[in-house]
Amino acid sequence: MSLTEISAHIAKAEAAAGRPEGAAQLIAVSKRQPDARVIEVLEQGHRLFGENQVQEAAGKWPIFRETYPDAKVHLLGPLQTNKARQAMGLFDAIHSLDRPKLAKTLARLAQEEGHCPELFIQVNTGEEAQKSGVLPSEIEAFVVECSALDLPVVGLMCIPPVDEEPSLHFALLAKLAARTGLSGLSMGMSGDYERAVALGATHVRVGSAIFGARDY
Ligand SMILES: *Cc1c(COP(=O)(O)O)cnc(C)c1O
């Protein structure tokens, strides 16, 4: 599907939900895509991208940014504390703040560097053992902890279990965000971004629907 078609679907979902146009931002997930495809999307004027790995992003975005200095890149994948400093220099936002140790590391680095990307707390809405993220029952305490560390937390993020109706997870995430006073909602991927917009997503993360299947 083209970027234009996806943007039109988002606008339609926003209107149907009575939300203003542009309420949900489209993050084009460029992980493991050939450079030529990413450049096509940059050439179409799109400027917000998502990556899963620090290493991969470090290999391409500093180069893309020489030509497109206003491109913004968000980290969507898990972040190891030993890569946190590098991530802070590369990304405009991090969607995977998922544990106290990472919060403490980011807070210390933010002090040292004098800046910090905007942060989304990843919530394990499906309470899956193999998935990272803060459990719904622990989210309020974690938000308080991050706020005591002066971290710029702007919202919550989730990746629903593959075999469940994502809308239930989007609704839960929206409820948790309302309860903790956070306005950002990073939810919805290629297969379910319209449902996420209907339930209040402020950021949808769409990869394969824009770029085609990934190069594994
Ligand atoms: C890869 C990825 C996406 C995009 O997935 P698609 O199904 O290709 O749209 C979104 N969010 C995260 C966290 C991802 O890792």
Residues 173/187, Cβ–Cβ less than 8 Å = yes
> Does the C-beta of 78 come closer than 6 Å to ligand 1?
no
- The tens place of each residue's pLDDT in the chain, 216 residues long, gives 789 999 999 999 999 999 999 999 999 999 999 999 999 999 999 999 999 999 999 999 999 999 999 999 999 999 999 999 999 999 999 999 999 999 999 999 999 999 999 999 999 999 999 999 999 999 999 999 999 999 999 999 999 999 999 999 999 999 999 999 999 999 999 999 999 999 999 999 999 999 988 866
- Give the Cα separation of 122 and 159 in Å (integer): 8
159 lines ligand 1 (CB under 6 A): yes
Contact 152, 164 (CB under 8 A): no
Give distance in angstroms: CA of 148 to centre of ligand 1.
31
Within the chain, residue ranges assigned H as helices are: 3-16, 35-43, 54-67, 84-90, 100-113, 139-148, 166-180, 193-198, 208-211
Q: How far is CA 93 from the centre of its chain?
A: 8
| Ligand 1 atom at minimum distance from 214 CA | 8
State the closest ligand 1 atom to the C-alpha of 95, by its place in the atom list counted from 1: 13
Residue-level length of the chain: 216
| Cut 0.95: pTM above it | yes
Domains of the chain and any CATH numbers: 3-211 (3.20.20.10)
CA–centroid distance, residue 206 to ligand 1 (Å)? 6
Amino acid (1-letter code) at residue 30? S
Closest atom, ligand 1, to C-alpha of 206? 9
Return the residue matching tokens 């179409």.
44
53 lines ligand 1 (CB under 6 A): no
Residue 189 alpha carbon, nearest atom of ligand 1: 9
Ligand 1 within 6 A of 206 CB?
yes
Q: How far is the CA of 29 from the centre of ligand 1 (A)?
A: 6
Farthest CA pair distance, the chain: 45
C-alpha 143: how far from its chain's center?
Answer: 17
75 lines ligand 1 (CB under 6 A): no
Q: Is the CB of 52 under 6 A from ligand 1?
A: yes
Looking from the CA of residue 159, the nearest atom of ligand 1 is: 13
